[in-house]
């Protein structure tokens, strides 16, 4: 098992004809005594949105964890063609409501990779946090406690934390689940803007509308790759029915 950065594989380009930001070959991963991903081979196109689609337990969150570097592969090759670590935005439920954090403090945590958790924020840190708050239209919420926010506001705070990391690879786990249509549309618009700025976005989602608007799609079933490519060719009625069919 190898993990390498800035060393492209000698393979043909993806069908989208985009440069790959991430490549993985025969990738397997899981947890002690519980394998989850089995021999996945795919590419994540750069400066594009890739949707990870599949039923609960199919391996979407595990694959995001592998791409983020928080879960180590058990086999296969993973190649990142980028100079900065990924920014990972977990599900809202993974961050406790009871944490005594303001919105600004939550976003400032995105700078810990640059300066560590104990050093005082620099002028550049503060400017980066201000920019992320403005981009998510939550600067007016900066002093509010995270647990006081609506679902959409809280999700925007977590995405702002990801933006504060200044990575060109943003990984999101179910970013619009449980949100109202206005909040979903606001986040969708933001992700489109980020891709236009050169950010690669990978989101695990159950929202088929969001998945169909992505540039690329990976369809997972039982930890294996059931399809990859443009959503129009992957998210067919037959493929979705098969993916959600009980094993």
Whether residue 165 has pLDDT greater than 60: yes
Domain assignments of the chain as residue spans, ordered by start: 1-86+168-247, 96-166
Residue 122: its pLDDT value, please? 86
Mean pLDDT of 45-66: 96
Report the distance separating Cα 190 and Cα 91, nearest Å. Answer: 17
Whether residue 3 has pLDDT greater than 90: no
Report the distance separating Cα 192 and Cα 176, nearest Å. Answer: 14
What is the DSSP track for 45-104? ETTSEEEEE--TTSSHHHHHHHHHTSS--SEEEEEE-SSS--EEE--GGGS-TTS--BHH
Mean pLDDT of 41-64: 96
Whether residue 76 has pLDDT greater than 50: yes
202 close to 172: Cβ distance less than 8 angstroms: yes
Whether residue 148 has pLDDT greater than 70: yes
Residues 6+ apart with CB under 8 A from 165: 84, 85, 87, 110, 111, 113
Mean pLDDT of 130-139: 93
Residue 150: its pLDDT value, please? 86
25 close to 179: Cβ distance less than 8 angstroms: no
Residue 10: its pLDDT value, please? 41
Whether residue 115 has pLDDT greater than 70: no
Q: What is the CATH number of domain 1-86+168-247?
A: 3.40.50.300
Angle (deg, nearest 10), helices 151-163 and 181-196: 10
Residues 176-235 have pLDDT tens digits of 887 888 888 888 999 999 999 999 999 999 999 999 999 999 999 999 999 999 999 999
Query: pLDDT higher for 170 or 122?
Result: 170
**Global pTM?**
0.86
Report the distance separating Cα 88 and Cα 65, nearest Å. Answer: 8
pLDDT bracket for residue 129 (50, 70, 90): very high
Question: E strand or H helix at 133, and its extent?
Answer: helix 123-135
- Determine what percent of the chain is predicted with pLDDT higher than 70: 87
Residue 31: its pLDDT value, please? 93
Structure tokens at 134: 């403005």
Whether residue 57 has pLDDT greater than 50: yes
- Determine what percent of the chain is predicted with pLDDT higher than 90: 66
Report the distance separating Cα 175 and Cα 60, nearest Å. Answer: 13
pLDDT bracket for residue 5 (50, 70, 90): very low
Residue 176: its pLDDT value, please? 86
Mean pLDDT of 127-155: 91
């Amino acid at each position: 098992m190898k993990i390498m950065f800035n060393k492209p594989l000698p393979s043909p380009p993806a069908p989208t004809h985009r440069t790959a930001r991430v490549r993985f070959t025969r990738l397997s991963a899981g947890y002690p005594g519980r394998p989850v991903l089995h021999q996945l081979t795919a590419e994540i196109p750069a400066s594009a949105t890739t949707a990870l689609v599949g039923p609960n337990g199919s391996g979407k969150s595990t694959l995001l964890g592998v791409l983020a570097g928080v879960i180590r592969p058990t086999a296969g090759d993973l190649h990142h063609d980028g100079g900065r670590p990924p920014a990972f935005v977990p599900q809202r439920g993974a961050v406790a409501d009871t944490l005594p954090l303001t919105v600004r403090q939550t976003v400032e945590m995105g700078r810990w990779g640059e300066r560590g958790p104990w050093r005082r924020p620099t002028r550049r840190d503060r400017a980066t946090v201000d920019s992320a708050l403005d981009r998510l239209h939550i600067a007016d919420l900066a002093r509010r406690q995270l647990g006081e926010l609506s679902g959409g506001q809280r999700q925007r705070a977590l995405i702002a934390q990801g933006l504060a990391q200044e990575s060109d690879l943003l990984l999101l786990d179910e970013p619009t689940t449980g949100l109202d249509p206005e909040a979903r549309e606001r986040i969708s618009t933001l992700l489109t803007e980020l891709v236009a700025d050169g950010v690669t976005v990978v989101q695990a989602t159950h929202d088929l509308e969001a998945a169909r608007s992505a540039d690329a799609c990976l369809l997972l079933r039982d930890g294996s790759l059931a399809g990859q490519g443009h959503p129009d060719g992957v998210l067919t009625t037959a493929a979705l029915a098969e993916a959600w069919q009980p094993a």
